[in-house]
A and B are shown apart, each in its own frame.
Chain A
Amino acid sequence: MKLLLLLCLVMGGTHLRAKETDPVRKLLRSSLVRLTIHGQSPSYYSPWKWANPKKRSGQGLVVGENLVLTLSSLVRNSTQIEVRLNAEPTPRILKVLHADLDRGLALLQGELPPGVEVIELPKVSNIKLGDKARSYWKTDRGRFMEGHATLDHVDAVIADGSYQCLLWYEGSNASVQGGYGEPVFCEGNLIGISVKNGQGSEMSVLPVEEIHRRYEFPSGRMKPDSAMAGFVFNPCTQKNFRDYNQLKDEDGGCVVTSILGQGSGAEELKVGDIILEFDGRKLDAWGRYEHPKFGSLSFEHLFSEKKLGDSVEVTLVREGERKTLSIRMASISEDRWLLPEYRGGQPGRFFIRGGYVFQNLSLPYLMAWGRDWTTKAPDDLLVLFNDEKGLLKQPEREEVVMLGQVLAHASNRGLQHLGRKVIDTINNEPLRGLKHLKEVLDDPKQKRVLLGLRPGNVPLLLDASEMRKVDKEIEESYGIDTMERL
């Protein structure tokens, strides 16, 4: 206890001294803001509901006139973002101007008081491994805090909810983990902002270079998307497989294990291709190349440096033959997936008819089973997700429709145990999506409707005209404020 007290005193002393002398603190005095974010996330299991509101906080940097840069994860599902500047008694309200989920960034807009300084983001971070990094944040009382770490390696990372592989600076022996958008400085220069990577004693930093690839400052104008890989690769380290493909150890090369419906290489590459060189860089068996400054790095981050439509040369081995292909750089749009991931926290699509809740299958629906969702969610839904992940929407199949649950009512007695069943067919025709289902159920000529449920196309017979009659009663009895979101 005494030791703790002593530590506090020593740290407090440092804090006071630093406040007076540190030029970075001077710079950040008005351009670093503490954000208070109120948010509410949708329920995917009962899609007409929303979870209880939650409050979180994070840091923002004033990067332009009335523009604040922060992390997209902080403002996900936000209902109100507040910022209090220069001890103003009333908080100011900011709105999300744009959230870039692939880089994990968000630009907020709102009227800031005069005199707030705009921080200029350097174009280049220019770090050396071994440099000491300092992160800064403000507490809810506006007090400055500071953390330290040693930048000891650089990683190519695909962050949670991102399709883009980016270079992150990683610091070890971090005094605080951070990850709430704190600006990080090296020898007095801003090098990036602190992002979450889940490691206890490590600090992860998104470099300023990546921020500049997305936004123009100080205008906050967005730049076009960068390219993203449209395939998944694995290390090619099995000796028999290498021998079979007549690869020597020194050839390196990583193997393509699945192809997505969109993204760079999705059209040109095939499962089983062994990529030896990418854009003139030789890859090792783990898909890494030698970066002149940071050493061995996964080649996947190189996509983020390419413009859409560019061509990149790839040397690979396909079915025992060496080839050089030119692959077109493309991006990935979440809107095109058959199974949405709702990375921005969007609510699911649904409608309720006759107490039957029809909804689309999405990644967050499965993740609602908790941390162990990959084993706890129903296997037939998980298998479907595994098999159909990476597929695109088609006019004949826009989404995967489920009978999510049945809200008990006299009209659906005997069927109230049904739920979590994928609907494959309607009146023996393939079901295209929720709108298709609703069209059929809305059609006054339809009475007897036959759905086919997975697995085995198990029949479910419904009376469309009877279902319509009870909607009002169900809406009132269950206190549902919206019976559809399509």
Chain B
Amino acid sequence: MRQYLMICVSLLGCLLPLQGNELHEASVVLIECTSQRWNFKEPWKPHRFRKGSGTGFVIQGNRILTNAHVVANARYIEITRIGDDQKYVALVKFAAHDCDLAILEVEDSSFFEGMEALEMAPLPKVNSVVTTHGFPMGGTHLSVTRGVVSRIQMRGYSHSGADSHLVVQTDSAINPGNSGGPVIQDGKVVGVAFQVLRQADNIGYLIPSTVVEHVLEDVEDGRLDGFGEMGVQYRYDLQNPIIRSLLEVPEGRGGVLITRAFPRMPSYGKIQPLDVLMSINTYEISDDGKVKIDGRDLSYAEVMEREQIGTAVHVEVWREGKLVKLDLPLKEWNMIIDHRRPHDKIPKYVIWGGLCFTPLSRGYLDELGGVKKAPLTVRHAYEDVYGNEDLRADELVVLSTRLPHEINQGSDKVIGLILESVDGEEVLSLSDLRKKLADAKGPYAKLSFKGKDIPYVMKVAEATAKNDEILAQYRVPSGGRE
């Protein structure tokens, strides 16, 4: 899977002619966005801003649905209707970055005059025809392409880089600028165009209506919660008859073998390694982890995908020859390290004595050029954090950069490492570090980094007294941000 590159398909363009003339086309809009993301390695400053464009469409309640990646880190958004020369200013109401969907609102209510909200349809049938509407490669004329539904499966969403949901694969052409455009069958929306598989021919993906509806239902209370999980790791060991027999799994039943239940997740302490997860909400799980929903073989995770956070799923597990029934209220992944790309997030940091500390996150690692560019101890912490039962910290803090000054000489060797403790006391979060540094009595503070047996030593009085001078020297506007 990893050898293929998934790319989001917003952005940048030249003109293409308008095609098609159906009623729903009037509800498709062009979105132009100026965005600017923060620098997570030098977290006091943002990167340069960029302009991009995508597609959106009107849904119930005078709202516009598009992809989150079209409007991620937006500073300014303009929307254009087909055949209208006016540009309208829009704001992001909700951005569900985990499933690449965003809901926009337009301040000027006259914008919605004459536009009809598009309705969502159920999952389309494989091999049925769909049309994709949007503004590929920019332009103001709508483009319509036609293709068939190739398959429906669970797969990674490249915008967050950490989440998987159901996708509909199509051979209908999807190009940059199509992002957020409706994919229509029989006048209703079956999905939202969002990513393509590079290095393959005509493999484009839609966010299916099931995911869209989850988000719309989620935000009904005015808050976006996301998708919930039970937090288990599993293997398909029951495909092996010898293991089935060792586990005494009854004839005609199947399921997946649980290998790990993750701390801080609902399954922890309830589901055990070597349990066989046999069913979820009355759906029987097959030995390859599938359930049959509406005649389709889908990953059993799809059952959880259709429930909101906090809702309990009922599961049956086979444990030592007995069937055990459990209710597990779904929860979002507990992210001590944020594995998602940091859209619409402003990095936190503390600068002390010219040393800049920030939480270890995907955003920070992406600035280095990916997790593989980080030191081994950081890579390992990033990969192993879910399973770490002993971890007391709420955040792992790294020394992201150094503003060189004589008082922090020699600290280059600890840049990029995880700060474990100050004077032997464990650092539990960035705010905890800020407090520890403010409370440090001195004369010396010993900063212990993961993988280094010798602490890095700072002079407390010097670090505190010279901090403002160093910030001014490097034109850093502030010594920290929570």
Chain A residues with CB under 8 Å of chain B are 234, 237-241, 243-244, 255, 257-258, 271-272, 374-375, 379-380, 382-383, 386, 411-415, 447-448, 450, 455-459, 461, 463, 466
B201 at the binding interface (Cβ < 8 Å): no
With A238-B409, A240-B410, A458-B273 given, is the CB distance from A255 to B454 under 8 Å?
yes
With A379-B379, A383-B380, A415-B237 given, is the CB distance from A241 to B410 under 8 Å?
yes
Q: Which residues of A contact B240 (CB under 8 A)?
A: 411-415
Of the residues A386, A414, A450, contact of B238 by C-beta under 8 Å: A414
Closest to A235 in B: B410
Q: Which residues of B contact A411 (CB under 8 A)?
A: 240, 242
Contact yes or no, A413 B459, CB < 8 A? no
C-alpha spacing A6/B446, complex, angstroms: 66
Contact yes or no, B239 A413, CB < 8 A? yes
Contact yes or no, A463 B246, CB < 8 A? yes
C-alpha spacing A382/B410, complex, angstroms: 26
Of the residues A244, A386, A447, A461, contact of B457 by C-beta under 8 Å: A244
With A244-B457, A374-B376 given, is the CB distance from A455 to B237 under 8 Å?
no
* A-B pair number, CB within 8 angstroms: 98
With A379-B383, A463-B242 given, is the CB distance from A458 to B376 under 8 Å?
no
Q: Which residues of B contact A374 (CB under 8 A)?
A: 376
Contact yes or no, B409 A272, CB < 8 A? no
- Report the 9 A-B pairs with minimum CB-CB distance, sorted nearest first: A238-B410, A414-B239, A414-B240, A240-B457, A458-B259, A383-B380, A456-B387, A271-B453, A241-B457
Contact yes or no, A455 B387, CB < 8 A? yes
C-alpha spacing A239/B444, complex, angstroms: 12
C-alpha spacing A227/B10, complex, angstroms: 65
B372 at the binding interface (Cβ < 8 Å): yes
Closest to B462 in A: A240
Chain B, range 117-131, C-beta contacts under 8 Å to A: none
Q: Output the least CB separation between A415 and chain B (Å).
A: 6
Chain B, range 235-276, C-beta contacts under 8 Å to A: 235-240, 242-243, 245-247, 259-260, 273-274
Contact yes or no, B454 A383, CB < 8 A? no
Chain B residues with CB under 8 Å of chain A are 233, 235-240, 242-243, 245-247, 259-260, 273-274, 287, 372, 376-377, 379-380, 383-384, 387, 406-407, 409-411, 444, 446, 451-454, 456-459
Contact yes or no, A461 B384, CB < 8 A? no
C-alpha spacing A458/B387, complex, angstroms: 11
With A243-B459, A414-B239, A456-B260 given, is the CB distance from A237 to B410 under 8 Å?
yes
C-alpha spacing A461/B409, complex, angstroms: 53
Contact yes or no, A459 B259, CB < 8 A? yes
Contact yes or no, A240 B459, CB < 8 A? yes
22 A-B contact pairs sorted by A residue (CB < 8 Å): A234-B454, A240-B410, A241-B456, A243-B457, A244-B457, A257-B453, A257-B454, A271-B454, A383-B376, A413-B239, A413-B240, A414-B238, A414-B287, A415-B243, A447-B246, A456-B259, A456-B260, A457-B273, A458-B233, A458-B273, A459-B259, A466-B242
Q: Which residues of B contact A458 (CB under 8 A)?
A: 233, 259-260, 273
C-alpha spacing A458/B386, complex, angstroms: 14
Q: A414-B239, A458-B233, A461-B247 are in contact. List 15 more A-B contacts (CB 8 A).
A: A238-B410, A238-B411, A240-B444, A241-B456, A243-B459, A244-B444, A244-B446, A383-B380, A412-B240, A413-B239, A414-B240, A415-B237, A415-B243, A450-B274, A461-B274
C-alpha spacing A456/B406, complex, angstroms: 44
C-alpha spacing A257/B456, complex, angstroms: 12
Q: Which residues of A contact B380 (CB under 8 A)?
A: 379-380, 382-383
Contact yes or no, B410 A258, CB < 8 A? no
Contact yes or no, B451 A386, CB < 8 A? yes
Closest to A272 in B: B454
Contact yes or no, A386 B376, CB < 8 A? yes
C-alpha spacing A383/B237, complex, angstroms: 28
C-alpha spacing A126/B410, complex, angstroms: 40
Of the residues A237, A255, A380, A414, contact of B237 by C-beta under 8 Å: A414
